Amino acid sequence: MATKATNRKKAEYATGTLGANNGKRAEFGAGSFRYTDSGKVEYRFGYTDEFGKPQRKSFTCDDLNECIAKAEAFKKRMELLRDDINPDESICKVLRRAYQKDYDMGFVREQGYCRNLANLRILEKSRIAKMPIREVTKNDVTKYFATLTDYSESMVKKLYAQVKLAFSIALMEGLITENFMEQRDMKCPKVGKPKKKVSGLTTEQQKKFVEALETTDPPNGRNDYRLQLMIELYSGMRMGEINALRREDIDFKKNVIHVRRTISRGFEYREFLNDTTKTDAGQRDVPISSKLRPYLEQALERQKPNADDLIFYDYCKNSLVTTSQVNCYYKRVCRKIGIPADGQHALRHTFATRCIESGIPAIVLKNWLGHTNIHITLDTYTDVFDSLNNEAVNNFDKYLEAM
């Protein structure tokens, strides 16, 4: 009586599954097969290991097709290891490797690299961050996106972009065979948290603030940040850019401030003098108004020699002046005079608001503020632009009547 293994073998011969050379190289040239005493198929094949050395391996399965599938998956794994890629990498490991490569090759600088890692730390808390990316399903990612409703709109967009980038890299490197993040329904989730509106000081609040700075001296032995705050109010510059100014950046002949560098936060939250600005658009010339000029002149008069040749310097600690230092002082002043103390960045918005109210075109303001594109300017100050609708209509009516 024929055994079960014999019958299976005969059936496979009859269907052409194995061919007639049992124990020899298979017809596709990728290895050899044989039947075991239990009736299973043993498939033996050659491969190159992660160290580049030729090796042999075998898989024993119920049929040859299953053996071949396992062999191909194994060889793909070895191929990834030869390229120094871990086949079991998680989303965060994929991103960390990509960010490190971009930093090493100079595509991003220290502050951008650290900012990417800071955002990644939020993603690392999720369940999908602990799984190999090849095992993460579309449903897993959808569930994760549903948990982001308490984050700000900007943070959700960053997290969505990170997940999308990770799967794009994984597909390119062969970690996955399909990228469901490119499917139409995998959209960036909407947040339930209302977008925080950016607002500057009202004209009355601005008057109170300026008066407080001009009439109140800082305590003895403490740094004086009043000039930085006044320069931000009348130039719209970011505080990091103000604290990074040098004497040669103040051009009274051309009546502009050359913005060329900023104070950035790098590794281990260390503040350092960055030889460039936050973005390429940040490299700009800011006009010196009649209100701004005297504060710049005072700053130059007070400058003392320091290691970085900066106009503003913390002589008490012999270090750079950070934005957080100025911010703390700003909040103390605001609380003292009873106006909102959301942070000194409000002075940049106050400058922009006054510019819009005075009729400065949005494209000009965009250049002064160092925005990457006009949409940022329009979106950031949409409420201010909207408030001018009635006045704009009145001006339009007057123009038509004059015709």
Q: Per-residue pLDDT for 24 more than 70? A: no
CB 267 within 8 Å of CB 238: no
203-390: CATH topology: hpI Integrase; Chain A (1.10.443)
**pLDDT value at residue 328:** 92
Given the DSSP bridges, would you call strands 250-251 and 54-61 parallel, antiparallel or unpaired? unpaired
pLDDT in tens, 297-315: 999 999 999 999 999 999 8
User: How far apart, in Å, are the Cα atoms of 214 and each of 56, 226, 295, 297, 350?
Assistant: 82, 8, 11, 15, 18
What is the H or E stretch that residue 257 is in? strand 256-259
* Cα 39 from Cα 112, distance rounded (Å): 60
CATH of domain 91-182: 1.10.150
pLDDT bin (cut points 50, 70, 90) of residue 27 is very low
Instruction: Name the least confident of 62-71, 94-103, 213-222, 238-247.
Output: 213-222
pLDDT in tens, 119-156: 999 999 999 998 999 899 999 999 999 998 888 888 89
Its sign, for the CA torsion 98, 99, 105, 107, is: positive
Domain borders along the chain are 4-82, 91-182, 203-390
* Cα 335 from Cα 215, distance rounded (Å): 16
Q: Per-residue pLDDT for 368 more than 60? A: yes
Q: Per-residue pLDDT for 13 more than 70? A: no
**pLDDT value at residue 144:** 94
**pLDDT value at residue 195:** 64
Tell me, yes or no, if the two domains 91-182 and 203-390 fold the same way: no
pLDDT bin (cut points 50, 70, 90) of residue 169 is very high
Give the residue among 167, 14, 18 at the shortest CA–CA distance from 92.
167
CB 104 within 8 Å of CB 112: no
**pLDDT value at residue 326:** 94
Q: What is the mean pLDDT of residues 77-98?
A: 83
**pLDDT value at residue 347:** 95
Q: Per-residue pLDDT for 26 more than 60? A: no
**pLDDT value at residue 19:** 40
Given the DSSP bridges, would you call strands 54-61 and 41-48 parallel, antiparallel or unpaired? antiparallel
Given the DSSP bridges, would you call strands 31-35 and 41-48 parallel, antiparallel or unpaired? antiparallel
Distance of CA 311 to the CA centre of its chain: 31
**pLDDT value at residue 7:** 40
CB 369 within 8 Å of CB 379: no
Q: Per-residue pLDDT for 17 more than 70? A: no
Structure tokens belonging to residue 37:
């005493």
